[in-house]
Amino acid sequence: MEQAKLILSGKEYDLPVIVGSEGEVGIDVTQLRNVSGAITFDPGYGNTGSCKSSITFIDGEKGILRYRGYPIEELASKSNFVEVSYLLIYGKLPTEDELTRFKYLLTHHSLIHEDMKKMFEGFPASAHPMGVLSAMVASLSAFYPGHENPEMKELNMIRLIAKLKTIAAFSYKKSLGQPYIYPRNDLSYVGDLLHMLFAVPSEKYEVNPVIEDAMDKLLILHADHEQNCSTSTVRLAGSSQANLFATISAGISALWGPWHGGANQEVIEMLDLIAKDNLDYKKYIELAKDKKSNFKLMGFGHRVYKNFDPRAQILKAACDNVLNELGVNDPLLEVAKNLERVALEDSYFIEKKLYPNVDFYSGIIYKALNIPVQMFTVMFAIGRLPGWLAQWKEMTDDPSLRIYRPRQIYTGATVRPYTDLKKR
C-alpha cells in the first residue's frame, strides 16, 4: 500500500494513503494525533475527506457529476425524480415492481397528522417558508417517533419524502391565507406538489405537463451533491444518533443560508436590482470584486467546480426551452446571460475560476413555473431530501460510525486566575 511521509519536529511518520474508485487520493490521518500529538488544520474543510461514500461522484476540474455512477445529464433527460430518489437511497435503479412499491408508499404516506395543522396556525403569514419547513420537519419526530430497526428507518425515510411536499405546500398556503389543499393519490409526486401549491377549492386544477416535467428535472439536478454544507450538517447531526426528523431539520437550516441553497432566492433579487439600476453590470462586478463591499455575485463560485457546474449548463439550456414552451418572456433571463458573459470576461472571475453554479439559472425557471421567490430554497430542499437520506443511511448503516467531532487549535488566553467583580 502506498504511504505518505510526514516529518514533524525531526520525526518521520508513515501515513496510509487511500484511493477511491475514481482514483481520488486521500492521506489517512486517523492515527495522526495518537502517534504524533498533532492534528490537521483545515478551516472550511477544503482539503478534508470526512467519510468514504459510494453515492455521488464529482470531478470539479472536469465538470462531472454522477449519482451512483450514472451521469447527471442522462438522469436529467431519461429518469424521473422518484426513480432517482430510489437510486440514491438503495444504490441501484429499481425494477418495475420495486418502483411500483416505492411510488405506492410515497403516495400513501403523503398526509400529515391533522394536529400538525394547529402548528402552522401559530406562524405569522410573513414567516419565511424555510424556517417553517425546518420547524415542521423537526416536529414530525413528535408524531412518528423511533428508528430503532431497519424497517422503522426505511418507513421514516419514506414518510419524509412523502410528507415534505405536503408540509412545503401547506406553509405556502398559510403564507397566502388560503385553505390547505390535501394530497391526491392519482397524481405523480411532482404533479401532486404542484396541485397542493396551486389548486384552490373552488376550481378544478389541471397539472400542466410542461411545468411538471421541468420541475421534475429541477428536483433531479438538486438531488445530491456529496459532502456539501447541508449534507455535512445532516451527517454531523445524525452521527450523534439524533432522530431522523431532527437530523433532516438541521440540514434544512444549513441549506437556507445565502452562501448555500438560499442563493437561488438572492440571485433573482440581485438580477432585479441590476435591471432596475439601468443594467449597470460593471458596477455590480466591481462591487463583487471589492472585498470591503461584502457583496458577492450570487449564484457564482463553487468550492468544488473550478471549470463549470454541469447542472448550471443543463439549467441554462432548459431556461430557453421552458420559457418558450410556456410562452413566458422574462427579461431577467437576458440580464442573467449578460451578467454571466461580462463576469466571465473579467480577469478576477477568470483567475479565481468563478462560474455560475446551480443556483444561478434555477430561479428563472422556478419563476416561469410560478413558484414564488420565497419558495425557491424550499424547492431545493425537496430536491435534496433523497440525497440527505441516502447519506444518512450510508452513515448510520456503517457499524464503524463514530460521532463527528473535529478538534481545534486553541488561540485564547492561557490559564489566569478569576478576578472578583469589584476588582475588574
Q: How far is the CB of 313 from ligand SDX (least distance, A)?
A: 13
Q: Which residue stretch of 63-71, 167-175, 259-267, 401-409 sits at the interface with ligand SDX (rule: CB under 6 A)?
A: 259-267
User: Are 240 and 99 within 8 A, CB to CB?
Assistant: no
Tell me the C-alpha distance between 306 and 293, whole Å: 24
**Under the criterion CB under 6 A, does residue 300 sit at the interface with ligand SDX?**
yes
Name the catalytic one among 302, 320, 330, 346: 302
**Under the criterion CB under 6 A, does residue 260 sit at the interface with ligand SDX?**
yes
Strand partners, 56: 67
To 10 degrees, what angle do helices 229-238 and 376-396 make? 40
* Nine cell digits for residue 380: 431545493
**Under the criterion CB under 6 A, does residue 217 sit at the interface with ligand SDX?**
no
Q: Which residue stretch of 90-98, 178-186, 187-195, 350-358 sits at the interface with ligand SDX (rule: CB under 6 A)?
A: 350-358
Binding mask 28-67 for ligand SDX (x = CB under 6 A): ----------------x-----------------------
**Under the criterion CB under 6 A, does residue 228 sit at the interface with ligand SDX?**
yes
Which CB, 191 or 251, lies closer to ligand SDX?
A: 251
Among 62, 179, 259, 350, binds ligand SDX (CB under 6 A): 259
- Look at residues 167, 159, 165 and name the one whose alpha carbon lies nearest to residue 245: 159
**Under the criterion CB under 6 A, does residue 103 sit at the interface with ligand SDX?**
no
Determine whether 113 is an active site residue.
Answer: no
**Under the criterion CB under 6 A, does residue 251 sit at the interface with ligand SDX?**
no
Determine whether 186 is an active site residue.
Answer: no
Active site residues per annotation = 302, 359
- Site residues (CB under 6 A) for ligand SDX? 44, 225, 228, 259-261, 263, 288, 296-304, 352, 354, 357-359
